[in-house]
Chain A
Amino acid sequence: EVQLVESGGGFVQPGGSLRLSCAVSEFTFTDYWMAWVRQAPGKGLEWVANINQGGIEQHYVGSVEGRFTISRDNAKNLLYLQMNSLRVEDTAVYYCARGSVVWDSWGQGTLVTVSS
């Protein structure tokens, strides 16, 4: 069974940084684009970023461009989201998902809380 497990969430003050990780298993990681999707408390889903199989091509939602970086370690089957200059409005559950346009498998999510 395909598995995606996020970690790295937590509490951080505005302006701080966090790095999220997503460990994947039971599928060939290098065959797939990967993505991060977030959901603020009580709100809808928002696509954050995605990355191609080789890690060369990345795309971001406008509100995180220049602050967040998506990357991957194909040798370790890990997806990352480096989040810098965090804002209160970045508070959300962050999900990693498999795919570029169709996200067919999701992790359970990790909560990021940005607050002073």
Chain B
Amino acid sequence: QAVLTQPPSASGTPGQTVIISCFGSSSNIGSNTVNWYQQFPGRAPKLLIYADHLRASGVPDRFSGSKSATSASLAITGLQSEDEAAYYCAAWDDNLKGLFGGGTKLTVL
């Protein structure tokens, strides 16, 4: 069971805004930055957001990240069919361990 908690699924229709949450604790999200990854089936993960809110190179500005206390969120605005993928939050822990959320599978209806 992942230390960082994400909803297993999310959905939206094209053009909508979807928000994916990630809950942690004071020893991980509360004291370290959060990164978000996108993964398509059968493919390697791709960095989307790092340092809580910075977009990786080439990532559309429809994707944004935020953090408050021990939780973080990934927002996708103007949802598109090609956004259908799994999304993972990740953070470092004060015990020098890397942590991932369990992943959220996004469906575009």
Shortest beta-carbon distance, B6 to chain A, in Å? 9
User: In chain B, what residue has the closest Cβ to A105?
Assistant: B47
Establish whether residues A44 and B97, one from each chain, have CB atoms under 8 Å apart when the complex forms.
no
Indicate if the CB atoms of A107 and B103 lie closer than 8 Å.
no
**A108 to B43 Cα, complex, angstroms:** 7
Mark out the residues of chain A between 72 and 111 whose CB falls within 8 Å of any chain B CB in the assembled complex.
Answer: 95, 101-104, 106-109
Smallest CB separation, A71 vs chain B (Å): 18
Q: Which residue of A lies closest to B33 (CB)?
A: A101
22 A-B pairs with CB atoms under 8 Å apart are A37-B100, A44-B2, A44-B101, A45-B45, A45-B88, A45-B100, A47-B97, A47-B99, A47-B100, A61-B98, A62-B97, A95-B45, A101-B32, A101-B98, A102-B47, A102-B51, A103-B37, A104-B47, A104-B50, A106-B44, A106-B46, A107-B44
Q: Is the CB of B44 within 8 A of A95?
A: yes
Q: Report A-chain residues with C-beta under 8 Å of the C-beta of B98.
A: 35, 37, 47, 50, 59, 61, 101
Q: Interface range on chain A: under 10, 10 to 19, 20 to 34, or 35 or more?
A: 10 to 19
Given contacts A44-B2, A101-B33, A101-B92, contact A106 B100 (CB under 8 A): no
Asked if B65 is an interface residue, CB under 8 A from chain A, the answer is no
Query: Is B10 interfacial (CB-CB < 8 Å)?
Result: no
CB of B100 within 8 A of CB of A46, answer: yes
Is the pair B103, A45 in contact by a Cβ cutoff of 8 Å? Answer: yes
Instruction: Count residues on chain B whose CB falls below 8 Å from chain A CBs.
Output: 25
Which chain A residues (10-48) contact chain B, with CB distance < 8 Å? 35, 37, 44-47
CB distance from A59 to the nearest CB of B (A): 5
With both beta carbons as reference points, the residue of chain A lying nearest to B104 in the complex is identified as: A44
B35 at the A/B interface (Cβ < 8 Å)?
yes
CA distance A103 to B56 in the complex (A): 11
Counting CB contacts under 8 A, is B24 at the interface?
no
A84 nearest CB across to chain B (Å): 20
In the bound complex, CA of A102 to CA of B49 (Å):
9
Tell me the bound Cα distance from A35 to B102 in angstroms. 19
A107 proximity list for chain B (CB < 8 A): 44
A106 to B102, CA, bound (A): 19
